[in-house]
Every structure is written in C-alpha cells, then in structure tokens.
Amino acid sequence: MYLDYNSTTPVDKRVSEVVFQTLTDVYGNASSQHSYGIRARLLVDEARSSIAKVIGSVKDEIYFTSGATESINFALKGLALHPRNSKRHIITCPTEHKAVLETCYYLESIGFDIDYLPVNEHGVIDLEKLSSLIKQDTLLICLMWVNNETGVIHPIEKIGEIAKEAGAYFVCDGTQGVGKLPINVVESNIDILCFSGHKMYAPKGIGGLYINSYAKAQNRIQPLLHGGAQENGLRSGTYNVPLIAGLGKAFEISLVEMETNKIFIESLRNKAEQELLKLDGAFINGKRAPRIFNTVNVSILGFDTDVFIGINKDIAISNGSACNSSLIQPSHVLLAMGLSNSDAISSIRISLGKDNTNDDIDLLLMRIHDFMTLL
Amino acid sequence: MKAYLDNAATTRLDPEVLEAMLPLMTEQFGNPSSIHAHGRAVRSALERARKTVAGLLHAAPAEIFFTSGGTEADNTAIRGSIETLGLTHAITSPLEHHAVLHTLEHLARQGRITLSLVRVDEKGQIDLDHLEELLSTQPRALVSLMHGNNEIGNLLDLDAVGELCSRYDAIFHCDTVQTMGHYPHDLQQLSAHFIVGAAHKFHGPKGVGFLYVRPGTRIHPFVHGGAQERNMRGGTENVYGIVGLAKALEIAYRDMDEHRRHIEGLKKRMIDQLREKIEGVLFNGLSADLDRSLYTVLSVSLPPSDINDMLLFNLDIAGISASGGSACSSGSEVGSHVLGALQVPADRANVRFSFSKFTTAQEVDHAVQVVAELYKREPIC
Ligand SMILES: Cc1ncc(COP(=O)(O)O)c(C=O)c1O
Ligand SMILES: Cc1ncc(COP(=O)(O)O)c(C=O)c1O
C-alpha cells in the first residue's frame, strides 16, 4: 500500500507508454542534423510546449535537467556565481528541501551571506519580515511553493511582488506543486521555477526549470554543466529524449486531470485527517496554514514512527522526506516550526495520489489503531 | 534503404536493456532513499547495478558514482578535482570533447586555473614530450586527455600518459566516453584518477552515465542536495537509466570480442571500398589505422568538389545518417574544433561514419555507393 506520493509517484501508464515507444523507436541524438536527429528534436520541442502551457510561460523559457536537485543547483549557483553578479545576499528558509539548503550552505562557505527567514508554528512565513530582510545587496529570494513534508503552501504571488519590488530574483522550488495545482509564473513574478518528473507521474531522473526570458536575456545566469552547449548553452549533455517525451506527456495529462485529482484526493485526505485527529494527543502539522490537498503530516503523542514503519513494511509512508529518511533524525522542517524533538520524531507524513482508495485509508487507520493499543 | 552511421553520436537501445529497465518503470517505483519496502526494492536494484559496473571494470562499488551522463561526469571530475584538491594548473588538448574543453576554459576565465594545451600533430597525435615538458614546469596539474576521440577516432596511449602523470604527481582524468563498453577497462591496471561513461554510447539509455573515482581521491559534491550517491550527488536517482546502463555494460563486455570483430570488419570494408572507388579520398587523424583508432569511427576526407557543401544533406536524402563533425552541439553549423586543430584543408569535405553492433554490411555498402556516386568524376573528353 503506497501512501508516499511526495517521495515519488508511480509512472502513469500513458507516460510509460510514451517513454517505451521513444526508447525503442527514436534513437537519434536530438542535436544531430539528419532525419533521426530531427525526429528526436521534435519530441523535445513538443514536450517543452506542453510544460510551458501548464505553467503559463513560453516554450523557449523551459530547460531540461536530470531533476529538481540539478535545477536548483543550476539556478542558485548560476545566478550567484555569474561573473557579472556582485550581490552577495540570499534569502531562503529553514523549511526548504535539502537541495536548496545544501546549495546555500555551499554558497555560504564561499562567502555568500544567507538569511534564513523563520516560519511560525504553522509553517507560515511572515511577509513583513521578508521585506525587512531585503538589502541593497540581495541577489535572490529562494522560497518553495509547496512544502514536501507538511504540504504548507507559501504565498508565491506575494513573495514574487516583494522580490520584484526589491529587484531581486525569485527562485521557486515548485517540485511539490507543479502538476498538482495551477500556477502562472508570469502572474506570480517567478523568475525561476524548478520541477521534477517523478513527483508528477513521470519517471525519475528527468526534470527541468523555467527561467524567465529576463534573467536569460540579461545573460545573468551561467550554466552548471558545460559541454556541447545544448539548451541554448545553458545545459550541456545529450538530450534524454525518452524521458523528456514522458515528462511532456505527464504535463499534458496534469492539465486535463488536475481538478478531478484534487477533488478525489482531497476527500481521502480529509477523511484520514479527521480520523487521525481523534487519536490521543494527535495534531496536524501546518493545520492552520494553506496546505496542498494530498498531504497530512501528523504528530501523535508517544508514537514511535520508526517502529511503526518497521512493523508495517507493506505500508509506504514516511517519517520525513525520503532523502533524509535513511538517517533517523527529527525532521528539520518540523523543528523549524518549533516542534520538540520528541514531537518531531513521533510524526508521520502521509501523502496521497490518484491511485489511492478509501480502503487504503481504512487500512492505514486500522494499523495505527492496532499499533497504539499494542503499546 | 536507410543507414544509421552515426553511432558515435548515440546508439540504438538494445532490446535486452529495455527488458531490464521495464520493471523499474512499472511495478518497482519507490524512491531508493525511502526505508519502506517499495524504496528498499529499488535501492537494491540500484546497488546491484553499481556492483555490476564496478565488477566489469575491476573497481569497487564505492568508486562508482552515477550521473546524468558523460557531460556531468566530466564536469564533476574536473571541477571536483580542481576545487577540492586546490589544483591551479590544468593540461588538456585541443581535441577534447566540449564537456572537457568548455569546463576548463570556464575555470580558466574565472582565474581558477591556468590552462595549457598540449601540442598535437596534423594526425592528432598527442606530443608526449611536450606533455612531459608541461608537467615538469607545473607539477601536480590536472591532466585531462580523452581515450578515444569522438570525431577522428584517435586512441590515446593510456599507459604512457598514466606513467607521466604518476611521475609528476598529476591528477589524470580520462574521458573514456567513446571507449567505454567497446574496449575493456581494467582499473587495476589503469592509473587514471577519473574515468567516465555514458550509457547511450553503448546501447544503453540516454541521460545516464557514471564517474569512477580512484580511492584516495576525495572530491566535493558537484550537485548539492540529498544524501544520494553517498553524499556525492544529490537528486533522486534515475533508476531505470542506471539499471539500463549496468545491463548495457554487461552485454557490451559479454559480447565485446564478437562485436569488435564485426565492426572492425565493417570499418575495413568501408576504407577499402572508399579507396577503391573514390580518387583522392583521405582519412582524418589516425582514423584509417585500425590499431590506433576506434574501430567504431571512420573520419573521411573527400576531395574538393562542388557538392561538398551539400554532402551531408545529400546523404540524408539518400537515407544515410552520418555526421559532419560531432553531433554534441546544437546549431552545429560551426565547424568542428577537432578538424580545425588538425588544420584540414578547407576545400575538402569531412564526414564521420560511425558503426555499432547493429550496423550491417549492406548499410556500409549503400553509404559507399552513394558517396561514390556523388564524387564520380565526369569523364573528360
Ligand atoms: C568523448 C565524449 N565525451 C563526452 C560526451 C558527452 O556525453 P553526454 O552527451 O552523454 O553527456 C560525449 C558525447 O556526447 C563524447 O563523445
Ligand atoms: C520540495 C522538493 N524539492 C526538491 C526535490 C528534489 O527532487 P529530485 O530528487 O527529483 O532532484 C524534492 C524531492 O525529493 C522535493 O520534494
């Protein structure tokens, strides 16, 4: 039973069909000038258009990478380390994903000045505080759209406005929101939006980013990967045509099915949440904040999450984000929201997707009940 | 008839490889970093793949790091070694792939390193005396020289370069993208600190590659994020790609001799026929020297003719996919930097034919026939 869609999703059948077909039939190098190459290039272009359509940009602003982590590294280092950049200040937040935090630690280690905007107990940032942190020297604000652990949604339109007014770039890790919620990068004043295929029913190892033509046209971002100068020189490496085609398909599907998925998944989530709240000493993290419809992060007093996961090996849920979960450590996101170590350790993240059913929720609740009575 | 003769740009996926990748795309979809059963099943497939690759190369699994391709592997090795080990000097050649050249040039522009180019002769052979001279004035340099050139096929004398690098305490990065899966690499014998592979050059999928790092050579991560690849490379792993890469390399090693014989035969057949049918045909670099060039690559230089500008176009019309230089840059109307460095005459046309195990004698014959037809001399009366 799979309740860990924020960690990774299964690949939609319609997407894997596109991937297989491309793997078998289209083997040219998308940079080649001959007919095999042209055929591959058309698929890449088509995918670019599908993505642009979903996020409200134009296709030339979409760049492919190996995933959100690479996109984030590229965005932050590409802006910060550009030879024409002299600004040294970056604002981010302690509840960001490791891809952002680790990259910021790296930039800090080479002399950048990083401010970590705190969140309150609901996981919400204070916009006035954000404005007050801005300096002459602020290069960029890096804040995620949807938090992967709690589902809390940041007010990206307002952040975008603040960034724009300050003349700073707004880099947004959209990994958990893209494909699930509608977005318009222009209206939200987002300069760079990062995303990953495997969070939206496409394969792992493919992702991308939107870079608005301003950042690009002003030639203010430099590549992370140097080489054959693919992607207008901003991302080198042979095009991963099959997975790019698959990613395009996933975007195409998301546009059509976003609303239906939301209604269905939200009803499952609400049911799970209501039942969980009946448990002794249980509370939902981020309950009072705007949250995405598929995520419940619950802390249950005295609940030993690791033992629960250990016993219920057939249930896929998470005790944090997957990238950290091999280490038994309290979630940095929950700690940043002010939870005690023991509350943070007693929390589980349930993240739902379109293949879940009512029975899945019932079974999970039963297992949690059994586990609690056992104690 | 169609003839795909651009296998140095990318190869066709082996159906056996696809077979191995299928389950990872369908039923096994967990995140390898998750601790639940879905995650652990995928993690074990990932680690099995690492073991397979390591075993084939006589390395340890901990020395293999998966990346998004040859380019990322080259970038990681070069930037990682320069930044982590504090190297201030690098030596490369003008014939390298742009994944190497552009990375080094970028670092040189930033003032991180001084960059020296080792001399090459008109055949593209590395001047080893000059390399030694550069190493002796700048010990503890990064040396980045490719094993097999993707455009002209020249093979590097790995032992000689490795020996020089050890003598001068240099770090040796070898771009082995074109030889991986085509020549046996034995890391117990090889002294390189870094070698790399890209699956799509040996019938694996695109978008996945790997970096080998010699034990004792510690480098900082290049992509920061989660704890994947033992903290060396953040990002959820491309597990189908990785499993496909391992399978492709396994097949490549299993059938290497047989494929080599087949492909070498095709290359020889093409050389012989071109020589016979086209007056004044030449071969760039060491391309026609079967012992000192990639058996997969033949770089042909055709005599001056009105049709030179339209050669590739004409080939494409006739169903033949080949390459003018390398395909690895978009908008590749810019001339090849490799052929430029060899100072090939401007009035000749250059075309790279590259072969794989799937190439047939009929494809080669068809290509030769079309080229011969294009370059047929009108009888002078
Ligand atoms: C010699 C060489 N090095 C590096 C690369 C880059 O590999 P990739 O495009 O898979 O990143 C290529 C091919 O494109 C190559 O031929
Ligand atoms: C919010 C967020 N950002 C970034 C990432 C990194 O994505 P990937 O591992 O595909 O590079 C993830 C998922 O792991 C995520 O949830």
Q: Give the helix/strand (H/E) hosting A51.
A: helix A35-55
Burial class for A316, CB neighbours closer than 10 Å (0-12, 13-18, 19+): buried
Q: pLDDT (tens digit, 9 = 90+) per residue, A267-289?
A: 999 999 999 999 989 999 999 99
Enclosing domain of residue A278: 257-374
Same domain, A193 and A296: no
Residue A2: which of B38, B198, B200 has the nearest Cβ? B38
Residue A243: predicted pLDDT: 98
Q: Give me the CATH number covering residue B268.
A: 3.90.1150.10
Q: If contacts are CB pairs under 8 Å, which of residues 259-288 in chain A contact chain B?
A: none
Looking at the fold, whether A285 and A352 belong to one and the same domain comes out as yes
Instruction: Give the CATH number of the domain where residue B214 resides.
Output: 3.40.640.10
B162 in any annotated domain: yes
* Residue B381 domain flag: no
| Same domain as B278, residue B218 | no
Task: Check whether residue A264 and residue A357 sit in a common domain.
Answer: yes
Asked if residue A75 and residue A128 are part of one domain, the reply reads yes
Supply the pLDDT for residue A313: 86
Considering only the beta carbons, identify the residue of B18, B235, B319 that sits closest to A69: B235
| Beta-carbon separation of A29 and B9 below 8 A | yes
Of A204, A226, A253, which one is at a domain's C-terminal end? A253
> Which of A249-253, A308-312, A323-327, B156-160 has the weakest average pLDDT?
A323-327
B207 plus B71 within the same structural domain: yes
Mind listing the pLDDT tens digit for each residue in B263-321?
999 999 999 999 999 999 999 999 999 999 999 999 999 999 888 888 989 999 999 99
Both A246 and A362 in one domain: the answer is no
Lowest mean pLDDT, pick from A143-152, A328-337, B150-159: A328-337
> Between residues 292 and 321 of chain A, which touch chain B (CB distance below 8 Å)?
309, 313-319, 321
**pLDDT for B34:** 86
Burial, B217: exposed, middle or buried (Cβ in 10 Å; 0-12, 13-18, 19+)?
A: middle
Q: Under a CB-based contact definition with an 8 Å cutoff, are residues A4 and A316 in contact?
A: yes
Residue that terminates a domain, selected from A253, A288, A319: A253
Q: Are A75 and A171 in contact (CB under 8 A)?
A: yes
Of A325, A263, A324, A269, residue with least CA distance to A298: A269
Considering the domain architecture, whether residues A69 and A161 belong to the same structural domain is answered as: yes
> Element (H or E) spanning B253, and its range?
helix B239-254
**What does the pLDDT read at residue B329?**
43
Beta bridge partners of B183: B180
In a domain, A2, yes or no: no
Q: Given a cut of 90, is residue A212 above it in pLDDT?
A: yes
Name the band, by pLDDT with cuts 50, 70 and 90, for residue A13. Answer: very high
Question: Strand pairing partners for B223?
Answer: B233
Q: What is the pLDDT of residues B169-207, one digit of tens each?
A: 999 999 999 999 999 999 999 999 999 999 999 999 999
Which residue among A253, A286, A301 closes a domain?
A253
Number of domains in chain B: 2
Question: In the predicted model, is pLDDT for residue A297 greater than 50?
Answer: yes
Supply φ then ψ for residue A198, to 5 degrees.
-75, 0
Same domain, A234 and A268: no
Helix pair B128-137, B158-167: axis angle to 10 deg: 20
Q: Kindly tell me the burial class for residue A277, based on how many C-beta atoms sit within 10 Å of its own C-beta (0-12, 13-18, 19 or more).
A: middle
Domain count, chain A: 2
Active site (annotated) includes residue A323: yes
Three-state SS at A135: coil
Residues with C-beta less than 6 Å from any ligand 2 atom: A 67-69, 97, 99, 144, 148, 173, 175-176, 196, 198, 207, 323; B 235-236
Domain-embedded: residue B365: yes
Domain range for B318 is 3-11+256-374
Domain boundary among B221, B254, B287: B254
Which are the catalytic amino acids of B? Answer: 328
**Shared-domain flag, residues B38 and B158:** yes
pLDDT for residue B330: 38
Asked whether residue A5 is assigned to any structural domain, the reply reads: no
End-to-end CA distance of chain A: 23
Start-end of H helices in B121-206: 128-137, 158-167
State how beta strands B89-92 and B114-117 pair. Answer: parallel
A85: domain CATH number? Answer: 3.40.640.10
Question: Is the domain of B64 the same as that of B7?
Answer: no
Query: What's the CATH number where A369 sits?
Result: 3.90.1150.10
Statement to judge: residues A276 and A168 lie in one domain: no
Considering chain A, what is the average pLDDT of its residues?
A: 94
With a 6 A CB cut-off, is B91 part of the ligand 1 pocket? no
- Residue A333 distance to chain B (closest CA, Å): 14
pLDDT score of A319:
81
Calpha distance B58→B73 (Å, rounded): 19
Whether the predicted pLDDT of B124 surpasses 50: yes
